[in-house]
A and B are shown apart, each in its own frame.
Chain A
Amino acid sequence: SQTIHQWPATLVQPVGSPLSLECTVEGTSNPNLYWYRQAAGRGLQLLFYSVGIGQISSEVPQNLSASRPQDRQFILSSKKLLLSDSGFYLCAFGRGGSGNTIYFGEGSWLTVV
C-alpha cells in the first residue's frame, strides 16, 4: 500500500534560523509531490509541486525552497526563517492519472519565535 511520512511533527525555531522538513513516500514510483501550508483562516496554500526528480515548480514567492533529490523524497527548506513562516505544513502525493486525488502526510507544525 502507498504511505507518506513527514517529519518532524512539531518544531519551534527562532527567527533567522534554517529549516528543513522532509517527506518520503512508499509504495509508489514517480509520484507527483506537493508542499502545502495552512495558516489559520486561509485554507491550504500550495507552495511547491514536483512531477519528477529535480523538477520543482513554485506557486508563491517566498523565502522557502524545495528539492527532490530522489524519486520519493521531497524536502522543504529555508535559510532564514521569518515570523510569517509559522504555520502547518503538509506534504502530499498524487498520481496524475487518478483524477488529481492527493493524499497527505501527517503534517508539521512550525512556530517561529
Chain B
Amino acid sequence: EDKVVQSPLSLVVHEGDTVTLNCSYEVTNFRSLLWYKQEKKAPTFLFMLTSSGIEKKSGRLSSILDKKELFSILNITATQTGDSAVYLCAVGDAGTALIFGKGTTLSVSS
C-alpha cells in the first residue's frame, strides 16, 4: 500500500531558529513529491520535486528530494511567527490523485 510519513508530527521553535521537516514515502511509479503549507484554511502549494539532489528554493524555504532513499526534507531558516502552520507532504504516482501525509504542525513563538 502506498504511504507517506511525515516527521515530526509537531514542532515548537523560537523565532529565528532553523527547522527541518521530513517526509518519507513508499509508492509505486513515483512521479513527484509536493509540499504544501496549510494555515487556517486551504493548503497552498510550495514546491514540487521530481529529480533527486536538485534543491528548490523560495526565500527562506528550501526543499530537496532523495529518490534513492525515498525521502524529502523541507528547511525553513530564520523562522518567523508567520511560518506557523501545518506543512503537508504529498506524493504523486502514475495515477491522477496525490497521496498526503498527516502533516507536521509547526509553531513559532516570538
Bind each other: yes
Interface set of A (CB-CB < 8 Å, partner B): 32, 34, 36, 41-44, 46, 49, 51, 59, 90, 94, 96, 99-107
Q: How far is the CA of A105 from the CA of B38 in the complex (A)?
A: 12
Closest 5 CB pairs of A and B: A100-B92, A43-B102, A104-B42, A44-B100, A99-B32
Interface-lining segment among B43-51, B58-66, B73-81: B43-51
Chain A contacts for B31, CB-based, 8 A: 99-100
B67 to A: closest C-beta gap in Å: 14
Also in contact, A34 and B97, with CB within 8 A (given A101-B48, A106-B41, A107-B42): yes
Chain A residues touching B, majority SS: strand
For the complex, is B70 an interface residue (Cβ under 8 Å from A)?
Answer: no
For the complex, is B96 an interface residue (Cβ under 8 Å from A)?
Answer: yes
A/B pair count, beta carbons within 8 Å: 51
Which of the residues B48, B92, B97 comes within 8 Å of A59, measured between beta carbons?
B97
What are 17 A-B residue pairs whose CB atoms fall within 8 Å in the complex? A32-B96, A36-B100, A46-B98, A59-B97, A94-B96, A99-B48, A99-B50, A100-B34, A100-B48, A100-B96, A100-B98, A101-B34, A103-B45, A105-B42, A106-B41, A106-B42, A107-B42
B101 to A: closest C-beta gap in Å: 6
Also in contact, A43 and B48, with CB within 8 A (given A32-B96, A100-B34, A106-B41): no
